Amino acid sequence: MTAIGFDDPGGAEVLRPERLAVPEPGENQVLIRVAYAGINRPDVIQRQGFYPPPPGASPIPGLEVAGTVVAVGKGAPPEMLNRRVCALVSGGGYAEYCLAHSAHCLNLPADMAFDIAAAIPETLFTVWHNVFERGWASDGDTLLVHGGTSGIGTMAIQLAKAFDIAVIATAGSEDKCEAIRGLGADLAINYRTQDFVEEVKAFTGGKGVNVVLDMVSGEYVARNIECLADDGRHVTIAVLGGLKAEINMATVMRKRLSLTGSTLRPRSDEFKALLADEIYNYAWPLFEDGTILPVMDRTFPFAEAGAAHARMEEGAHIGKIVLEVAGD
């Protein structure tokens, strides 16, 4: 099969095609003939040399795929053979064939195209776990999302609105703010021209938000804490603005705040299977009936994975970027 890899970490130009043996499914695994693969920020960080795959995972980049199951391993449900699925994987997505744990796959409705499906798993699993499980968001809450036009941001906005949660989101241009409003955000803040702390306070009448989904970290953490209401929850899922933050712990105590965070890729197969089961029961029906669909930015040919990474690093994208590996 053809896969996309790199010899040494570096810029987007280091990505190149390579010929590898088609992997064989092990226990509880299925082999997917990949139609499309999603591009995600962790792929870029891995290519740069800062996010190695966990032990046992494929070194090939790619954390989500959509395609057809062409083989099943021992312990995997035999009825999955020939099913159209999308899957969360720990690596290996940038390839014509990819292994996935059978319990990390979601069955596709007949009318869902593979490119749409490939743009779902990584952001859906991440948002569901961090906003609803770690952040305990529930109807009537208000959520602040940074990076509102990213894949994570657009998914978080749609999921939150589907569960009657008010959403405030930030972005870096008026065009992006307009896109955020189009997704249903109650308030869009241009962080280049507005102080998001003051805007949040004004919008909430000084009360603050219940949950912050933070992808920036660094100096944003202290400002996010200012935005939180009493008993608020701060959830960090990326550190694009810096690894360290200085905060006032007296404020944390006074407001009774909870600060948490997570990374999904290294979690156990058992954890991801439980997460997939919860998603299948509570969130997946919203995708099956078309209530929620990923916002699509651009599709790149398989051989142009480097250009897809460059597009993500430019920061101009709105929604998801995918690779067309084999098409529908």
- The CATH number for 22's domain is 3.90.180.10
Q: Give the CATH number of the domain where residue 234 resides.
A: 3.40.50.720
Which pLDDT score is estimated for 67?
Answer: 98
Whether residues 235 and 137 share a domain: the answer is yes
Query: Can you give the residue range of the structural domain that contains 11?
Result: 2-120+265-324
Q: Residues with Cβ < 8 Å from 244, sequence gap 6 or more?
A: 218
Whether residues 244 and 132 share a domain: the answer is yes
Whether residues 276 and 202 share a domain: the answer is no
Whether 15 and 4 have beta carbons less than 8 Å apart is answered as yes
Secondary structure letter of residue 52 according to DSSP: P
Q: Is the pLDDT of residue 128 over 90?
A: yes
Whether residues 136 and 246 share a domain: the answer is yes
Whether 305 and 325 have beta carbons less than 8 Å apart is answered as no
Whether residues 114 and 129 share a domain: the answer is no
Which pLDDT score is estimated for 327?
Answer: 72
Condensed to tens digits (0 to 9), the pLDDT of residues 148-202 reads 999 999 999 999 999 999 999 999 999 999 999 999 999 999 999 999 999 999 9
Whether residues 53 and 153 share a domain: the answer is no
Condensed to tens digits (0 to 9), the pLDDT of residues 60-100 reads 999 999 999 999 999 999 999 999 999 999 999 999 999 99
Of 239, 261, 283, at which residue does a domain stop? 261
Of 261, 280, 310, at which residue does a domain stop? 261
Q: What is the DSSP string of 264-312?
A: STTS-HHHHHHHHHHHHHHTHHHHHTTS--PPEEEEEEGGGHHHHHHHH
Measure the CA–CA gap between 15 and 3, rounded to whole angstroms: 10
* Predicted TM-score of the model (pTM): 0.96
Whether 119 and 294 have beta carbons less than 8 Å apart is answered as yes
What's the pLDDT band for 311 if we cut at 50, 70, 90? very high
Mean per-residue pLDDT over the chain, rounded:
97
Whether residues 6 and 112 share a domain: the answer is yes
Tokens of 13: 């130009």
Whether residues 256 and 278 share a domain: the answer is no
- How many domains does the chain contain in total? 2
Which pLDDT score is estimated for 269?
Answer: 97
Measure the CA–CA gap between 131 and 156, rounded to whole angstroms: 8
What's the pLDDT band for 12 if we cut at 50, 70, 90? very high
Whether residues 21 and 99 share a domain: the answer is yes
Condensed to tens digits (0 to 9), the pLDDT of residues 20-75 reads 999 999 999 999 999 999 999 999 999 999 999 999 999 999 999 999 999 999 99
Between 220-227 and 196-203, two packed helices, what is the crossing angle to 10 degrees? 10
Whether residues 269 and 257 share a domain: the answer is no
Measure the CA–CA gap between 12 and 1, rounded to whole angstroms: 22
Mean pLDDT for the stretch of residues 240-247: 94
